[in-house]
Amino acid sequence: MNVYYDIIAVLIEDRAHPSYCAPYHEVTCCCCCEVHFCLLVSLYNCILIVGIIKDTARPSYWVPDHEVTHCCCCEVQFGPRVTLHHCRDCGQGVCKNCSKNKRPVPHRGWDSPVRVCDCCLKQD
């Protein structure tokens, strides 16, 4: 069962690097049967569609997901285990650990407390 999680993790990581596409045989050699491969391809396509929708529904000052590889505060690399968030103040990509604080950001239109990165919090 871990093989499938590893393949999904690879497919999700590839989403962050659209210039790289694993050759068909690299993925199929890890699968037990064609049915599982088809399910993984369907999951990957859903991830791509959700990514496109997410990119179009975001504020214009946010750095696009595909341009963000590391947290702007601690430099940890984003991947399946470290998820990407956006600071509502600066719009940079930030990890969960560096964006635990919330505060209003009225100059960006956020009157209620929202996620802000530790870097922006220190600047105030």
- Please tell me the predicted confidence (pLDDT) of residue 52: 55
Residue 23: is its pLDDT beyond 70?
no
Of 5, 11, 47, 48, nearest to 26 (Cα)?
Answer: 11
| pLDDT classification of 106: cutoffs 50, 70, 90 | very high
* Predicted TM-score of the model (pTM): 0.57
Percent over 90 (pLDDT), the chain? 47
Of 122, 117, 81, 75, nearest to 100 (Cα)?
Answer: 117
Domains and their CATH numbers in the chain: 2-56 (no CATH), 65-123 (3.30.40.10)
Mean pLDDT value across the chain? 76
Q: In whole angstroms, give the CA distance from residue 93 to residue 38.
A: 32
Residue 83: is its pLDDT beyond 70?
yes
Lowest-confidence segment of 47-51, 68-72, 80-84, 118-122 by average pLDDT? 47-51
